[in-house]
Amino acid sequence: QSVLTQPPSASGTPGQRVSISCSGSSSNIGGNTVNWYQQLPGTAPKLLIYSNNQRPSGVPDRFSGSKSGTSASLAISGLQSDDEADYYCAAWDDTLNGRVVFGGGTKLTVL
């Protein structure tokens, strides 16, 4: 059972906009920033969004992040076939002397 809760799956057609949610608590999302990762099959995770809504250099602006209270969301607009991947949210958690917590991951299928 992951500390951060994500839907196990999401889907959309090319060109569509999809959103993936991430729910936490006051000790993680509520008090710290949220990060999002994309993991293509057989590869290491890639940082997609950091500090709630910041994109690292090279990440297309089709990807955006937002946070409200103890929940966060990743939005992907203009969906493309190579967006098909697993997506994870992560945040620092202030409990248990401090730790990093991940969501369980959302498998995005492009139909």
Partner 1 sequence: EVRLAESGGGLVKPGGSLRLSCAASEFTFSSYSMNWVRQAPGKGLEWVSSISDGGNHIFYADSVKGRFTISGDKAKNSLYLQMNSLRAEDTAVYYCARDPYDTAGMDVWGQGTTVTVSS
Chain residues binding partner 1 by CB under 8 A are: 2, 32-33, 35, 37, 39, 44-47, 50-51, 56, 86, 88, 90-92, 96-105
CB-nearer residue toward partner 1: 13 or 41: 41
Please report which helix (H) or strand (E) contains residue 74, including its range. Answer: strand 71-76
Q: How far is the CB of 39 from partner 1 (least distance, A)?
A: 8
Contact 92, 26 (CB under 8 A): no
Contact 75, 59 (CB under 8 A): no
Cα separation, 49 vs 34, in Å, equals 8
CB-nearer residue toward partner 1: 21 or 102: 102
CB-nearer residue toward partner 1: 16 or 40: 40
CB-nearer residue toward partner 1: 29 or 79: 29
DSSP-based three-state secondary structure for 82: helix
Which residue carries 């991940």 as its tokens? 102
Q: How far is the CB of 61 from partner 1 (least distance, A)?
A: 18
